[in-house]
Amino acid sequence: MFHSVSIKCFILSCVCALSSSNTDQRGKARFVIDYERNDFLLDSKPFRYVSGSMHYFRVPRELWKDRFYKMRYAGLNAVQTYIYWKGHESQDGIYDFDGNLDIEAYFAEASKVGLYVILRLGPYIDAEVDMGGLPFWILSNNPEAKLRTADPSFMKFVDRWFAVLLPKVKKHLVNNGGNILMVQVENEYGSYPACDYEYTSTLRDLVLRHLGADTVLFTTDGNADGYLKCGKIPGAYATVDFGAGSDVKSAFRALRHFEPKGPLVNSEYYTGWLDFWGERHSKADGKLVADSLYQILALNASVNLYVFHGGTSFGFMSGGLDNPYRPCPTSYDYDAPISEAGDLSTKYYLIKDVIEKYFIASKLPAPTNTTKKAYGKVQISPVIKLMDIIRSSKSLVFRPQEVLSKKPLTFEQLRQDGGYVVYCTKLKTNFKDPSVLKVGGVGDRGYIYHNQVLTGRLDNSQKLYQIGLHGKKGDDLCILVENQGRVSYGMSINQKKGILGNVTLGNSILEDWIMYPLPFNNTMKLFEAVKLIKKDSKDRYGRNVNTGLFIGSFTVPQGEDPADTFLDMTGWNKGIAFINERNLGRYWPVQGPQITLFIPSVFLNPFPGLNRIVLFEQEQAPCRSRSDCFIRLVDEHLIDTSVPE
Kindly list the catalytic residues.
188, 268
Going from the C-alpha of 91 to that of each of 12, 455, 524, 525, the distances in angstroms are 40, 36, 18, 18
Tell me which residue of 466, 492, 482 sits closest to 325, measured CA to CA.
492
- 470 with 430: CB under 8 angstroms? no
The alpha carbon of residue 369 and the mean position of all alpha carbons in its chain are separated, in whole angstroms, by: 24
Residue 455: exposure state from Cβ atoms within 10 A (0-12, 13-18, ≥19): middle
d(CA 414, CA 534): 29
The SS3 assignment for 599 reads strand
Determine how many CB atoms are found less than 10 A away from the CB of residue 443. 24
d(CA 582, CA 115): 30
* Plot region of 349 (φ>0 → left; ψ -120 to 50 → alpha; else → beta): alpha
- 633 with 376: CB under 8 angstroms? yes
Helix 4-19 / helix 103-112 crossing angle, nearest 10 deg: 110
Tell me which residue of 545, 537, 541, 570 sits closest to 624, measured CA to CA.
545
List the alpha helices (DSSP H) in 212-316.
225-231, 248-251, 253-258, 286-298
Indicate the DSSP class of residue 150.
Answer: S
Tell me which residue of 202, 204, 123, 211 sits closest to 167, measured CA to CA.
211
Determine how many CB atoms are found less than 10 A away from the CB of residue 557. 13
Q: Is the dihedral of CA 502, 508, 513, 518 positive or negative?
A: negative
The alpha carbon of residue 17 and the mean position of all alpha carbons in its chain are separated, in whole angstroms, by: 33
Going from the C-alpha of 408 to that of each of 17, 23, 35, 349, 504, the distances in angstroms are 60, 59, 58, 54, 11
Using alpha carbons only, how large is the chain's radius of gyration in Å? 26
Q: Is the dihedral of CA 374, 375, 379, 384 positive or negative?
A: negative
Q: Write the secondary structure of 191-240 as one string of H (helix), E (strand) and C (coil).
A: HCCCCCHHHHHHHHHHHHHHHCCCCEEEEEEECCHHHHHHHCCCCCEEEE
Tell me which residue of 352, 380, 323, 325 sits closest to 629, measured CA to CA.
380
- Residue 242 pairs in a beta bridge with 269
Contacts of 421 (CB under 8 A, 6+ apart): 411, 414, 480, 481, 498, 515, 516, 517, 518
List the alpha helices (DSSP H) in 504-608.
523-537
The SS3 assignment for 353 reads helix
